[in-house]
Each structure stands twice: as structure tokens, then as C-alpha cells.
A and B are shown apart, each in its own frame.
Chain A
Amino acid sequence: MYRVTFRTRHLPALCATLIAPLALRAQASTPLDAERADFAQWLRTSASSPYAAVFHQPLAGDLVFGPGAQAALSGAPGATLSRTRRGLELRTDEGRRAVPRNRDIPLGAWRIRVSSSSRADVVTVFAPMTTPVDHPGWFPYDADLVIDGELRRPEAPAQRPMLGLDGVEVTGTLAGTFVGRVSDAEVSLTAYRIPVPGSEEAEVTVFLRDGTSGHETYPPGRFVVLRPLGGARYRLDVNRARNPFCAYNPLFPCPLPWPGNTLSARLEGGELYEAHEN
């Protein structure tokens, strides 16, 4: 009798102990789950997570860091960032150092990144995160939102400046029009090749709005990188829709919705959004 009582009382904990690791492994068993877990971990813990940004503005003249300065970082060592004949330079009490673009450098407990755009150098300062990040998560996976379609070539080559996922301005090249079907309705979306600075990569990307935008998802829209399937065939997987960085932190500039890329249907897939309190 004792043994039965023991077993029944402890069964949930016992099962949890045995099954939880299996369940956790199962949760991260698909590539998409693993991607999401990795990305959420990066958002929560990376020293240069967009959530950690405390300052973001174009560099115009010298930029002074420190308590009471233009970039008022409480407790940060005094420093001045300047454009010089030798490139970008950070002056502190300890001396001068060159500042590479698109990479983080430390300033006390803070990190500074100068993102290079076609129009300006943009300075972002990241502070140590002291409060836990509450990422809103993702819609559950929906296989119906994996849309295979055709990328129709543009009538004429075109390029235009645009904000990428990270709020950095780049020159996008028109890739064409992606045409596919969702729930028996045809969708047609403009796609651009958006270069990744410092690499040979240029991913065919759409920035789209849909019936969830402004409700469960980010109002201006979300980015989806198209996966090539061979020839003119591409896959638009809405489950992989990602927010621009401005969704995590209003310091980042937000891309404007791309003309013609607003769908009336609700695409309940991809990254969710909760409005900032401020």
C-alpha cells in the first residue's frame, strides 16, 4: 500500500523527470525549432542583441560619450568618436584607437558599433542587459504557410536604397515578383536581393504586410528570405517571417512597407509582436 501511494503521489514528478528532457529534445528536434531557440537565445543573451541597444543615431561631427554627454552613458568612461583622415577614431583617456565599421568595440561595459550605410555612418551603443528579455515568440508552425511559387523576372533592372532587417541602409536590387498561392488565393509580392554587408551574399527577400500586421505581428511588416528551389521556383515560408530590429527596440529605424506587398489574408505564421509600452 505504501509503495502504491508513493508511486501515485510521485508519478507526475517522476514522469516529468523522465519525460521532460525527451520533450525538450522533441521541441528542438526540427530545424525550425532549433533556429527559433538559437535566435531567441541570441536576443536574450548577446551583448549586441537589438534589445541591448541604448543609443542609435547617425554620426554627424564628433560624438561624445559619458555621463552628461551627447551619448549619456551613466558610468561610462569619457570618449569621443570622430571621423579623421585616418578613418574613424575613438579617443579616451587611455589614448586613441581605430574603430572598424560594422563590428563591435568595447567602451567600458558598453559596446559600440558603427554601421556603414550608403548615406551615413550610424552609431549604435549596446549596454549590458539588466532585465530579462520577454520575446513574444512565434505562431505555431503551419505547413500551409510554406508557399512554393515562381519568381518572375522584372521587366527592367532596378535598384533602390532600403532599410534591411537591422535598420542599416543598403542598395537592394529588384529580383522580381514572387507569385504563389495561399489558401487557393494567388499572392504576388515584390522581391529584392538584399546584400549582406561584407560578404558575397545577397538574399532574395520580401518585406510583407498581411491581416495580422498591427495585431499579432509587427505593424510595418515582416521580412521573409525566399529559399531557392531550382530554376525560377522559390519557397516563401511564412513560418520564418522575422521582425525588423525596430520591433525589438524603437531606437532602430523602421523600414517603410514595400508598395504592393500588403496581403489582406491573415498569415498566422512567423514571429509575433507585442507593442512597446512607450
Chain B
Amino acid sequence: MKTERPRGARRLATLRSALPLAVALGTVLSRSDTALAQAPAAPSLAGSWRAQLDLAGGPLRFSMELREEGGLSGILCNGEACQPYSRVEALPGDSVLLEIGDYAAAIRARVTRDSLVGSYRNVGNRGPRTIPFRASRGSWPAAPPPESILGRWDAFFNPEGSPSPRVLELRRTERGLEGTIISNTGDSGLFWGGMENGGFVMSHFDGSFVYMLTGALEGDTLKGIFHAGLTSQRPFVAVRSTGAPHLTPPDRLVEADTTSAFEWAFPDLDGNLVTNSDERFRGKVVIVEIFGTWCPTCHDSAPIMVDLYRRFRGRGLEVVGLAYEVTGDPAIDGALVRRFADKFGIDYPLLLAGVNDDESPNATQPQLDGPIAFPTTIFLDATGKVRRVHAGFYGPALGGMNEALERELIEFTEQLLGEAGR
């Protein structure tokens, strides 16, 4: 029961309750200089971190390495595939910012001696979204997968709604379980993980894509869930591949007009128009690479294009890259493409062809019929006509398929050069 106290008693009570506060304040003020002088150094961020994003379907794991020499920097890794943070910055209040500038995304976390706790955030057209983030010092253990789940699996995502074909490639490495998801237009980059509770867990986080694949073997069928973002989950089922085609072959995805010379006319990074009828390309075998600097698979294919060009340019091969970029602003897109060229040492022309929305690549390539994948590699013979269109690319995450594709591209280029008498 509440009882009303006399005014004087209430004031006394107020003072009494305020006393510890005032004493504490006085203590803080009188010792502030000393305290500042003796403040413990901020915990070092340097070292290996086992990081995770807490999705609704469980933790998406990745690794980080942070360094302090020459300023803060760091990388985030899915297995052996690593990429640098664009900025690592210590913030006031024992916090740290890990920025992934290419995707307007960042991780902010409070730092204690041995842990980071915060959130990953990026902003889409519907507003910001955040996913809880945690990290502790150390590295994730490698839990080797059993033989029974390794290999190539023919999968369907959304098996009960609108089934969408995929191929899963799973393999055992010294880091545990690695693999990728292949669609009709390429692979989703390297997934890394291991075994847990009788099933497997693999993840891929690159700052933009937040993907995780969980599943288990039931009889001779793999069943599981493909997680994307905080809450999106799509079931999949997969059976062991028989070798029969499950996806549309990459060279049959896109049909091309083969009756006349393949045409293009786009500005290079200095604003000069470059066309297929330029002297440089006339009478030569040409590889046209449709790419975007935003496309991870295009980063996988670029070294192959550079290698082909260096290997065969003496015999009359030309390569031209048609970039479909993010903004449509030549200054911004040009800078992105220049950085891409520097990264891979590209010395063939790169042209600003358009933007990477749903329509632009098809609209600017009227001689191609079918959804254009990134990258798409178009082989022109010495008459300038399309001889082959290869949609997508099998990246290093696909191991043997990557090597086989490289051999195939080299052999086909040699074939075209041979036909041209070069």
C-alpha cells in the first residue's frame, strides 16, 4: 500500500538517493585526468576471427583476418576465397566499422578483448536491413564431410512450387566441406562449411549476398534449405547426378545471329567510340566478353581472358570487354572498370556498353537471343561472325570443371585461329 510521506522526508530521501550519484560524479571528476592517463589501451583487433551472421535458419559462418600494421585493414573469407574490407575503422565507444564499400554495406560491432558483437547492415530500395553479427577470436574448426555427400548433385530449388534447376558440387578439402551452386548462368561462388548435427552447413557471404545451404542425406536424396538473407528460405531436393544434362548447356543458353558480322559500337574508358569495324579487329579472331565489375564470376573469368589474349595475340587474336556497370554514369563506371583492368592487368580494350539491369544487356545486343548471363563469352571467327556463345563461367570453386572449361576455351580459340590460317 502506498503511503504519503511528509515533504521534508521526501526531500531527504531524494538527497539520500542522490548522494551516491553525486559522490560517484565527484569521484569521476576528481579522477578524470588520472583515469584518462591510466585508461587501459583499447583491445587489439589484430588476428583471426571466427565470425557469424545469425540468420533465422542458423548461423552463417565466415572468417576474418584483421591487421593493424600501417593502419587498420582486414579481409573476410569463405574458406580460401577472401576479399578485403574497403575500410576498417575504430569508432568511438570501443566499436569498429568493417565496410564493404562495393555493396554500400558495413558491419558495426562493439569490441571487447576477445569478441565483436554488432550487426551487418545494408540499404536497399525498401530501406535498411540488419542481420546480427558476432565474432570471437580464433578460426572455425574443419569438420570433414562423409564420402556419401560428396560429388555432383542435380537439384531443384522450390521443388513444390516453381522448380528451378541447380547443380550442387560438394567436395572435401583440408578446410572441411567446400563447393558451389551452379545455375543455368554460372555459379554462386565458393561455399564453405562442414558437418553439424548429422547434416551439412555451407555458407557464402561476400558483403552483398548472404547465402547458406543446409541439408542432409535422406536415403539417396539430399534434402535441405537454401537460405538467403535474414529470413528467406527455399527448400531443395537433389539426387546424385547421372551425368545426363540437368542444366541447359552454357553454349545453348543464348542463340546468336550467325548470318552477319557481330556488331558493337561503344565508348572506351577515354570516351572514344570503338566498333567491330575498326582496323584493330578486321579479319581477326575476336573474343567478346560481356562482363561487369560487380559480378564475382566475372572476376573469376578475367584472368582466363587475359591469359588467352597474351597467349594468342601474336597469332591474331583480339579480345574486347563490354562492361555493363552499376550506375550508367561514365565517370563512376569508368573508374570501376579501370580498377578492374588494373587488378587483372587487362591490356585489351574495355568498353562501357550499358548498365546491368534486366533489360539493358539484351537491348544492346540485338544479335543475341536469350537471357544474357554475366559473364558471356562470344567467339567470332575471322569473318566477324559468331561461332560460339558461352553463357556464364565455371569459376575456381568448381575445381575440375573450371580446369576443363579453360582447356576447352583454349582449344576452341586455337581452332578458330587455325581456320583463319594463323
Looking at A85, A86, A116, A157, which has the most chain B CB atoms within 10 Å of its CB?
Answer: A86
Q: Does B349 contact A (CB under 8 A)?
A: no
Q: Is the CB of A105 within 8 A of B328?
A: yes
Q: Residue B130 at the A interface, CB < 8 A?
A: yes
The residues of B that contact A227 with a CB separation of less than 8 Å are 56, 231
Interface residues on chain B, number (Cβ under 8 Å): 47
Contact indicator B126/A165 (Cβ below 8 Å): yes
- Residues of B with C-beta under 8 A to A157: 160-162
Interface positions, chain A 90-119, Cβ under 8 Å from B, are 90, 97-103, 105, 113, 115-116
Pairwise interchain contact A173-B125, C-beta atoms closer than 8 A: no
Q: Which of A34, A174, A201 contacts B228 (CB 8 A)?
A: A201
B269 on interface, CB distance cutoff 8 Å? no
Interface string of B355-394 (1 = CB under 8 A from A): 1111110011010000000000000000000000000000
Q: Are B128 and A39 in contact (CB under 8 A)?
A: yes
Minimum CB–CB distance from A122 to chain B (whole Å) comes to 12
Whether B366 and A201, one on each chain, are in contact in the complex, defined by CB atoms closer than 8 angstroms, is no
Rounded to whole angstroms, the CA-CA distance of A26 and B123 in the bound complex is 25
| Residues from chain B with Cβ under 8 Å of A42 in the complex | 123, 127-128
Contact of A204 among B57, B125, B231 (CB under 8 A): B231
Asked if A8 and B228 make an inter-chain contact with CB atoms under 8 angstroms apart, the answer reads no
A-facing residues in B115-164 (Cβ within 8 Å): 119, 121, 123-128, 130, 132, 158, 160-162
Known interface pairs A173-B162, A203-B232, A228-B56. Does A196 touch B326 (Cβ–Cβ under 8 Å)? Answer: no
Which parts of B218-258 form the interface with A (CB within 8 Å)?
A: 226, 228-229, 231-234
Can you list 23 residue pairs at the A/B interface with Cβ under 8 Å? A7-B22, A14-B22, A14-B25, A39-B128, A42-B123, A42-B127, A46-B123, A85-B364, A85-B366, A86-B364, A87-B355, A90-B328, A97-B329, A100-B328, A101-B357, A102-B357, A103-B327, A103-B357, A157-B160, A166-B125, A173-B162, A193-B234, A203-B229
B-side interface residues toward A, CB under 8 Å?
11, 14-15, 18, 21-22, 25, 56-57, 119, 121, 123-128, 130, 132, 158, 160-162, 209, 211, 226, 228-229, 231-234, 326-330, 354-360, 363-364, 366
9 A-B pairs closest in CB distance: A100-B355, A101-B357, A87-B360, A98-B328, A201-B232, A200-B228, A87-B363, A201-B228, A201-B229
